[in-house]
Structures are given as C-alpha cells and as structure tokens.
A and B are shown apart, each in its own frame.
Chain A
Amino acid sequence: MADVALNRPLQLDPPLVEGNPTYSQITDDVAGIVERKPPREWYAAIAVSGLLTLVLGASIAWLLYKGVGIWGNNQPVAWAWPITDFVFWIGIGHAGTLISAILYLFRQKWRTSINRAAEAMTIFAVMTAGLFPLFHTGRPWRAYWLFPIPNLDLSLWQNFRSPLMWDVFAVSTYATVSILFWYVGMIPDLGTLRDRTTGLRQKIYGFFALGWRGSAWHWNHYEKAYLILAGLSTPLVLSVHSIVSFDFAVSIVPGWHTTIFPPYFVAGAIFSGFAMVITLMVLARKAYRLEHLITLNHLENMNKILLATGSIVAYSYAVEFFTAAFSGNPYEQYVFMNRVVGPYAWAVWIMFFCNVFAPQLFWFRKVRRSIPAMFAIAIIVNVGMWFERFNIIVTSLHRDYLPSSWGMFTPTLFDFLTFFGSLGFFLTMFLLFLRYLPAIALSEVKAVMPAPANAKGGE
C-alpha cells in the first residue's frame, strides 16, 4: 500500500527536486543553512555589503546635516537620482510577488523552491526603495505628513487627487501585504526550526512559529488564507507599478504623459525583478550547494520569463517612439529625438543594448541553461533597467517646453554613495535572511515532491 502516493505529481515535467531525497534530507538541507556556520563566501559578502551599508548611513547622515543640496538635483531635474533609484528598487520587488502570488494561482509548482527567497527580496527591495522618497522630501522627520494622521502642525489634509498620494498608499500597502504573505508562508518552517534548535534560538523561533503544530484543522484555514493572500497580491502588484507610473503619466511633461506607461512599467518591473532573482539565486545555490533544489530547470524557466518581459519592454519602447512620431506634437517628438541623439544619448543606447538586445540571447536553449551566460545577462539587465528610469526622468525633465528653462543634470559623489550604499543595504538584509530564516519553503517543497520511495511505509 505504501507505494501509491496520492500526491505524486505527473512525471511529464522535469522533476522539481532532483536526486529523490527523503523528507528529512530536504529538512536537513534547508534548516542546515541556518544551523551550521555559514560558508566563507557569506562572510566575504557581508563584509562588503556591510561596508556599503555604512557608506549609506554616512551619506544619509551628511544629507540630514547639509540638506538635499549635496545631491545633483536641480531645477529643472528635481527628481533626478533619488526617484530613479526609488523606481528601480520598487520594480525589483515585483518579481518576488509574481513568483509567490501569480505563479501560485497558475499552479506553477516549480515556484516552491524559489518563492521564499524571492519574497524576501521583494520586501528588502521595497524597504530600500522607501528610503529614497523619504530622504528626497528633504524633511524626513515630517514623513507622517504623507499619511492622513490628524495633527496640529499641518492643519489640512493630504491632496488625495494627487498620484503622489496614491503612490504612498500603493507602496505602503504593498510593503505591508508582502510582509504578511511572507510571514504567513514561513510559519510552518519556523516551526521546523523551533523543533530542531535548543535554548534561546528555540525560544525565538518558537515565538514566531506561534505554536504551529501542523494540525489538519489548521492547514485547512491556513491554505485558504494563503490562497486569498495570493489572490489579493496579484492585482496589488499590478496596481503598484501602475500607480508608480501615474506619478509620471498623470503629469503633462512630454515623454511622461502617455497611456502605455502602466503596462510598460509593470512589464519592466517584472523584467528587472527576475534579473535580480537570477543574480541572487545563482550565487546562493552555489554557495549553499542547493543545486538539487534550485535546479537548472528553475533557472531556465526564469530566463524564459526574462525573455518574455524583455520583449514586452522592447515593444513598449517602440510604441513610445511611434506614438511620439504619430502624435504630431512637436514637444513630444523633440523629447524622443533628444533621447536618441541629445546630450544623454549614451544613456539611452546603453538602455537599448541592455534591455532590448541582451535578453534576446535567451532564445537559445544553450544560453538559457548556461550559468555564466545567464548571470552576465541578468547583471546587464539590472544595469539597463536602472538606465531606463534614469532616461525617463532626466531626459524628459531637462528639456521640456520652454528652452529658457532647460538645464543639465550631473550627479554628485553623494548620488553615487547613496545608490551604491543602498545596494549594500539590500544585500545585507538578504544575507541576514539567508543566515537566520528558512530560505526555501520546506512545507511547500515537500508537498510537491514525489513521496520518497525509501520511506518506511505502512505494511
């Protein structure tokens, strides 16, 4: 009787877990990451990222002392790098929600090996993103003015008709729901760590495991909650970058005021996010020897998504140029000519190379299944997507309607320090996650893998 596994998936697709491990081997592999001392690479990585985080802290401290004048922001390019960096980081987060929510609704079982880490990446990316508008306001100690909290020193309400207000609600809802989704998904695995550790660590994991015991009555409500959260996160993630794009599209600045922006931004966000997931996963699976759980098939699937979303992004670029040409609007046409031949043309051509040409190499199976190739392309896409936001913001703002108010933007040292510092902050958070929390969703992987043949069965 033992051989007839009821939850055995059809063997049409390549196996989701390689090497037919038992349940407890999977537990040992994943929980072991947290229980053993981390590999040497982890210490090297956190030394670098920790240093960059200190750079971020120092540059923000200097910013608070001197003011936003230490950045290159000026009139007319008031948004400059901080908003470029904000949109860049928010976009990165979107892949995590796509993997955890949308692929869950589509019953894509391969998501189970990567969803936990991708969701963690989402949360850290949104946290990092949040820093930029906060400090770009110039008076971060007044941040509560962004929320409808009754207070005496403001004496009026927020303007809810402004897309910037919508953005506040979208990003803070996104951050909150992502954290809830991530945490709920982690409760059973925190239980695993509680049951394997002793002393203080057991108490801490036990506290966050909330007394989870895997009861069938609990799983019943739990799975429902998980499904509902996935169903809520799916329109939420699409709304977030749509609303971020409204910050631009609702204005009348040439190059911003277009209806393609919401889908274009969402596709770009997923594109950049998958590039970041691939970058992180390639390193993590190697450092922690998780090649049998995060298999080449997983990476290939992600490369296919990179190809698909990269093609949508390329199409959006084409539509933007076509719309400008077809509109007959001289300001719109000027902005797009200025992008390809103007003073920032180098940035636009970097963007085209990184986002349009590089991912097209994934049409070849050999490239999709080559670790060095996908790592290189993922890095290129990350760079390209940063330049996309730079182009949207700087080339549209620096020359809009009146030539008398045109200007140029040059970043300062502090623009660089803040950006690379934010990269360090993001990586530090991710490394701490790998060190202290279950990086792979144990209970989900066990549910999709074939029941181990060598487990001692009934009779």
Chain B
Amino acid sequence: MAERRLYGAVAEFATPDALLEAARRMRENGYTKMDACTPFPVHGIDRALGIPHSRLGYIVFAGGLTGFVAGILLQWWTGAVDYPLLVGGKPLFAFEPSIPIIFELTVLLSAFAAVGGMLALNRLPRLHHPLFELEAFRRVTNDRFFLAVEAADPKFRPDETKALLESLGAESAALVEEEG
C-alpha cells in the first residue's frame, strides 16, 4: 500500500574537488534542484548549487533583542515595581548595576535562537530521509561526497540524469526511491 516513488539520482565522489566540479557542470546543464551531502562543509559548494546566504542572523538578532528587553523588564519590575526594597540606599532601578544580567540574558536567548533557528531552518531533527536507503550513503559522514538531483527538478530524466552524473567522474551513481 505504501507507494514507492522516485526521490532522485545520487552520485558518489571520492574527493571534494570532484564533487564541486560535478556540481558546477550539472548546473551548467540546467539542473536546479540539487543537494550535496558531505562529511565536512565543502567551500564553494553553496555557490555551485545556488544556495542563498543563511538568514539565521535575523533570527538570532530577534532572540538577542528579546533577552535584552527581558533583562531590563525583569530587574525593573521585580526591584522597582512589584516589591520595592531599599538596599544600602541604592536606587531601586538603575542601568549600571543591571548591565551584567541584561548582557547575560541577551547572550542566553541569542544562543537559544541560534541553535533553535538552525535546526528549524534545516528541518531537523527528522527521523528519516530517502538518501539513508542507499547503503553507500553510510560513508557520507566518513569520506564520501554525494551529489543528489531531485526527481522534482524539471530537467530530471531518470536514466539520462544518472548517466550524466556517471560521466562527471562519479565512483557510482544510483536512483533512490522514497515512500509515496
């Protein structure tokens, strides 16, 4: 009952340079929906695949701003509004002694936003991905560099795409299916 459909074509490369070169050539050939899976970040791959700049910075800025405002409100409201308590003749609220906690909360919420935002943008955690069906893909976290062309790509023709990948120096290429 679970219908299988094609996820795409995947090729395996032995070096980051071979992968980069293949990614560029595929793009020259008009492919747009591609992904590369590598054991470490390969620099230049984002341009070769047309990956835009990460927008994570905006999320972190929002998180940091929240922490900053929360730090001010927390110290002002508890100390000067909800329970005013005079200690050593100091003002009930002043910026100078509030800065350490404002700073710490800014950093704390920025860090939460950075990690949470990164995971959300990457749609992680996820339980499965069609690429994990491929036995060779186990080496993606070791020493192999994979280039995938998704079936959703308008130029995708299963056998043609696979043959093109093979001609670009891949160690091997395969078609991968996913649950429908």
Which A residues lie at the B interface, using CB under 8 A?
A: 1-2, 4-7, 22-24, 27, 148, 156-163, 165-166, 169-170, 173, 176-177, 180-181, 184, 188-189, 191-192, 194-196, 210-225, 228-229, 232, 235-236, 239, 243, 246, 442-444, 446-447, 451, 455-459
Contacts and interface: CB of A to CB of B under 8 A. Distances in A.
Interface string B69-104: 000001100110011010100100000011011011
B46 interface: yes
Interface of B: 13-18, 20-22, 35-46, 49, 51, 53-54, 56-57, 60, 74-75, 78-79, 82-83, 85, 87, 90, 97-98, 100-101, 103-105, 107-108, 110-112, 114-115, 117-119, 121-122, 124-129, 131-132, 137-143, 168-169, 171
User: Helix, strand, loop or mixed for chain A's interface?
Assistant: helix
B27 to A, nearest CB: 13
Given A211-B128, A213-B140, A228 B114 contact: yes
Given A224-B54, A455-B14, A169 B141 contact: no
Contacts of B168: 458
B100 to A, nearest CB: 4
Contacts of B103: 235, 239
A225 B114 contact: yes
Contacts of A173: 104-105, 107-108
A197 to B, nearest CB: 11
Contact of A161 (B97, B119, B122): B97
Given A169-B105, A211-B127, A444-B40, A221 B87 contact: no
Given A161-B87, A211-B129, A184 B40 contact: no
A87 B112 CA distance: 26
A456 B141 contact: no
Contacts of B117: 221, 225
A184 B117 CA distance: 12
Pick the 4 closest A-B CB pairs, nearest first.
A458-B169, A23-B143, A210-B125, A225-B118
Main secondary structure of the interface of B (DSSP, over half): helix
Contacts of B15: 2, 5, 451, 455, 457-458
Nearest to B168: A458
B38 A156 contact: no
A211 B36 CA distance: 15
Contacts of B87: 159, 161-162
B101 to A, nearest CB: 5
B44 A246 contact: no
B51 A220 contact: yes
Contacts of B108: 173, 176-177
A191 B126 CA distance: 13
Contacts of A161: 79, 87, 90, 97
A321 B97 CA distance: 28
Contacts of A456: 14, 171
B111 A229 contact: yes
Given A158-B78, A176-B111, A210-B124, A215 B141 contact: no
A229 B109 CA distance: 11
10 contacts: A27-B142, A173-B105, A177-B111, A188-B39, A215-B37, A217-B35, A223-B54, A239-B103, A446-B40, A457-B15
A177 B110 CA distance: 10
Contacts of B49: 216
Contacts of A218: 122, 124
Given A2-B17, A217-B122, A232-B114, A160 B97 contact: yes
A319 to B, nearest CB: 24
B20 to A, nearest CB: 7
B39 A446 contact: yes
